[in-house]
Structure 1
Amino acid sequence: MTINVNKVTLYVQDQAAALDFWTQKVGFEVTTDQPYGPDTRWIEVSPPGGGVGLVLFKAGPDWPTLSQEQPNYVLFDTEDIVKTHEDLAARGVPFDAPPVEEPWGWSAVFLDNEGHRFHLSQR
């Protein structure tokens, strides 16, 4: 039996701003955008060409917020981290620092429009 990761839910305060960030700055594509209840939408974005999608789900008003000091447990990888860092930074994606080579490989941390941190590594 094989089980694959299909989607990861990212709880956001502002779906429109999150959609703009992930499509305009990161370059993901919208795979689903439809109403989901009276005040929210079901929005899915994925890397061009497919892969695991992100669900940009509106957090409820009483939900705890993610700590901005800690990364989300969503990790991204790329073929060329230096080039990807340059491209994303040019589009306005903030990084904690340029990519660094660690003993286990290349690494960088970027932030989304709400200040959540995500890990980027090189394949």
Structure 2
Amino acid sequence: MINQVGQIMLYVNDQDETVKFWTEKVGFIVVSEQDNGQGMRWIEIAPSTDAETSLVLHNKELIAKMQPELHLGTPSLMFFSDNLEQLYKDFTDKNIKVGEMVTMPGGRVFNFADPENNYFAIMEKK
């Protein structure tokens, strides 16, 4: 039985730039970084040390060569925030590309993009 989402794989073109974005602008931390010494490197990031789910950044080009059948598109992720207004301002101040704040049946939400123009959403969850 599955009882939790553990890790979500993100396949990116530039791991270093992506880590920098998620840590310096979004506020995530690096949980671990692995390198098998043969070019395979993966970086696990999360919003905090006690987060139940983390993102693992993989080199898209390398994974495509190793497993050509794998879907390498960006998953549609919805994050939650208990202070959406402040987060929206913080992201705007940090020059993160953000969409309009909109009200959905589940609450207010906005989207944002990483440096590779992958879009993610954040919903207010109090």
Shift of the alpha carbon at 1:76?
Answer: 0.4
- Structure 1's 34 and 109: CA in aligned 2 closer, same or farther, altered over 3 A? same
Measure the CA separation in 2 of the matches of 1:42 and 1:72: 17
Q: Secondary structure at the match of 1:39?
A: coil
Identity across matched positions, percent: 29
Counterpart contact for 1:45–1:55, Cα < 8 Å? yes
Shift of the alpha carbon at 1:94?
Answer: 1.0
Q: Decide which structure has greater helix share.
A: 2
The answer for unaligned runs of 5 or more in structure 1 is none
Cα deviation digits, residues 33-66 of structure 1 (max 9, x gap) = 1213522411000102431110011112656764
2:55 maps to what in 1? 54
Q: Secondary structure at the match of 1:120?
A: strand
Measure the CA separation in 2 of the matches of 1:21 and 1:40: 21
Measure the CA separation in 2 of the matches of 1:93 and 1:37: 33
Q: Give the alignment's TM-score, normalised by structure 1.
A: 0.84
Q: Give the alignment's TM-score, normalised by structure 2.
A: 0.82
Show the 5 A alignment for 1:12-91.
Answer: 12-51=12-51, 52-60=53-61, 62=64, 66=73, 72-91=75-94
